[in-house]
Amino acid sequence: MTDICLIFEVHQPFRLNRKFSGELLSSPRRSEDLFELYFDLDLNRRIFDRISR
């Protein structure tokens, strides 16, 4: 008998930071800091927690 493996993958996009403005980029930033500026990490975490229940 043939084995069958089913895979379920969910994509959860990153939400953009609605408070982002170009002024935030006026001062020098490290590339690691840009991720936190562009994306709303708190909102991403809350939504991920809500849908994972």
Q: Is residue 1 part of a domain?
A: no
Q: How many domains does the chain have?
A: 1
Domain membership flag for residue 6: no
Which tens digit of pLDDT belongs to each residue from 4-51? 999 988 788 899 998 888 777 777 778 778 888 889 999 999 998 998
| pLDDT at residue 23 in the model | 73
Closest CA to 25 of 38, 14, 15: 38
Write down the pLDDT at residue 35.
Answer: 86
pLDDT digits (tens, 9 = 90+) for 31-40: 778 888 889 9
pLDDT of residue 34: 84
> What does 12-52 look like in DSSP terms, one character per residue?
-PPPB-TT--GGGGSS---HHHHHHHHB-HHHHHHHHHHHT
Tokens 């500026």, residue located: 37
Q: Which residues, 6 or more positions from 29, have their beta carbon under 8 angstroms from its beta carbon?
A: 37
Domain that holds residue 44: 22-52
The pLDDT value given to residue 16: 92
Q: 28 lies in a domain?
A: yes
Beta partners for 16?
A: 39
